[in-house]
């Protein structure tokens, strides 16, 4: 029964989760991350795709102060707990929706794997940020490098997952449309 329901509604799932993910992303970019940057004068951890070192992490955590660190934990990381699964669901549903008619399903499987990886690395990044905030004023250098590595891996896997969505969509657009129904 699930095999009949999911294909019927996969487009709705892709669009709905995409709207939710876009709304959360907009809220983070325009409110929580903007507030963190305004309060600290530093780019938040989440917005450093090339990572950061112990000195940069310490400067951000110091500049945030007690209230800013609490805001990061309670507002930004709360939203960033909701965002990764919504983004992954959007990408997976979109890939499955347009990729179900593709003769080469390796692209579909690879895109799904990258989408899941991007969400997992985002969660590892969030756990690292939480641990850095909780351990402040101590800066545990291996923790900073682990969180920074998760940030880099999240950025790379998310970029690759989005490229896979585009690639699957491009390949789907090139297929003959005689018997294809979405």
Residues 6+ apart with CB under 8 A from 119: 84, 85, 87, 88
**What is the spatial distance between Cα 59 and Cα 132, in angstroms, rounded to a whole number?**
12
What pLDDT does residue 29 have? 97
Q: What is the pLDDT of residues 135-145, one digit of tens each?
A: 999 989 999 99
The model's confidence at residue 83, banded by pLDDT at 50, 70 and 90, is very high
What pLDDT does residue 59 have? 97
Within 10 Å of residue 23's Cβ, how many Cβ atoms? Answer: 13
Of 107, 111, 52, nearest to 87 (Cα)?
111
**What is the spatial distance between Cα 20 and Cα 88, in angstroms, rounded to a whole number?**
12
What pLDDT does residue 178 have? 54
């Amino acid at each position: 029964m699930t095999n009949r329901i999911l294909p019927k509604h996969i487009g709705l799932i892709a669009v709905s989760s995409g709207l939710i993910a876009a709304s959360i992303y907009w809220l983070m970019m325009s409110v929580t991350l903007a507030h963190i940057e305004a309060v600290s004068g530093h780019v938040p951890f989440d917005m450093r795709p090339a990572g950061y070192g112990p000195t940069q992490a310490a400067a951000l955590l110091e500049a945030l102060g007690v209230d800013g660190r609490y805001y990061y934990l309670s507002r930004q990381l709360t939203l960033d707990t909701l965002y990764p699964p919504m983004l992954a669901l959007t990408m997976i549903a979109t890939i499955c929706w347009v990729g179900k008619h593709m003769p080469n399903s390796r692209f579909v499987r690879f895109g799904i794997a990258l989408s899941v990886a991007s969400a997992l690395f985002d969660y590892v990044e969030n756990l690292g940020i939480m641990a850095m905030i909780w351990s402040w004023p101590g800066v545990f250098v291996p923790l900073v490098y682990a969180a920074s590595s998760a940030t880099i891996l999240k950025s790379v896997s998310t970029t690759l997952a989005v490229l896979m969505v585009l690639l699957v969509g491009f390949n789907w657009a090139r297929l003959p449309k005689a018997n294809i129904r979405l």
